[in-house]
Amino acid sequence: MARFFDVHPKDPNPRAIAQVVAMLRDGGLIAYPTDSGYALGCALGNAEGKERIATIRRLDERHHYTLVCRDFAQLGQLVHIDNAVFRAIKAATPGSYTFILPATKEVPKRLLHPKKKTVGVRIPDHAVVRALLEELGEPLLTSSLILPGEETPMTDGWQVKEALDHQIDAVIDGECGNEPTTVVDYSDGYPEITRHGAGDPTAFE
């Protein structure tokens, strides 16, 4: 059964955050609230965690997993960004956007799109996520918690626990957005919006 952590949305309890991070470091898979709905997350080096996410969401190898970052400096270590892209993304973060960009060698090959060698990155605007990333000290491998057959992410912690109680290790309860991120694909060097979501797409159109 998944452990349930009730944390304050603006001032998350450091002890609860530390317990969740200990589970992540021990190979756990968690569900946590973000500014664009619930997400599934595991440590970057957790190969089994990635497969568990794929099983829950029924994802194929072409799915772009997302590396959730604490700040722009951390994001910049994971993807190649030229000056124009840098300015555009910097202006939009933190926020409800996922950016698809060419990955650096810091990213494990198993996380890359098999043909494009790209990966998703994002910096959420959410106190619980910031606390998790600060305690973890590295990006979190993530995918929106959109169940098969659904188009929007789950938004209620107890419903997440009820649906996935025996498939994940922990659920963090908390406030979250109700729309998935806006996805901006820079694979070919220019912005292409591949999903309209919570983030205002105007700057990338």
Per-residue pLDDT of the chain (205 residues; tens, 9 = 90+): 999 999 988 899 999 999 999 999 999 999 999 999 999 999 999 999 999 999 999 998 888 899 999 999 999 999 999 888 889 999 999 999 999 999 999 999 889 888 889 999 999 999 999 999 999 999 999 999 999 999 889 999 999 999 999 999 999 998 998 899 999 999 988 999 999 999 999 989 8
**pLDDT value for 8:** 87
Cα(2)–Cα(166) distance, rounded to whole angstroms? 6
**pLDDT value for 97:** 96
Rg of the Cα atoms in the chain = 16
**pLDDT value for 91:** 93
Q: Number of folded domains in the chain?
A: 1
**pLDDT value for 57:** 96
Tell me the whole-structure pTM to 2 decimals: 0.94
- Is residue 187 within 8 Å of residue 23, measured between CB atoms? no
Q: What are phi and psi of 163, to 5 degrees?
A: -75, -35
Cα(72)–Cα(78) distance, rounded to whole angstroms? 10
**pLDDT value for 9:** 84
Cα(148)–Cα(179) distance, rounded to whole angstroms? 16
Residue showing tokens 């963090």: 172
Structural domain range at position 24: 3-204
**pLDDT value for 68:** 97
Running DSSP on this structure, what letter comes out for residue 79? B
CATH for 150: 3.90.870.10
Cα(110)–Cα(42) distance, rounded to whole angstroms? 14
Contacts with 114 (C-beta within 8 Å, 6 or more apart), sequence order: 61, 62
Q: Give, to the nearest 10 degrees, the angle between helix 14-25 and helix 127-136.
A: 50
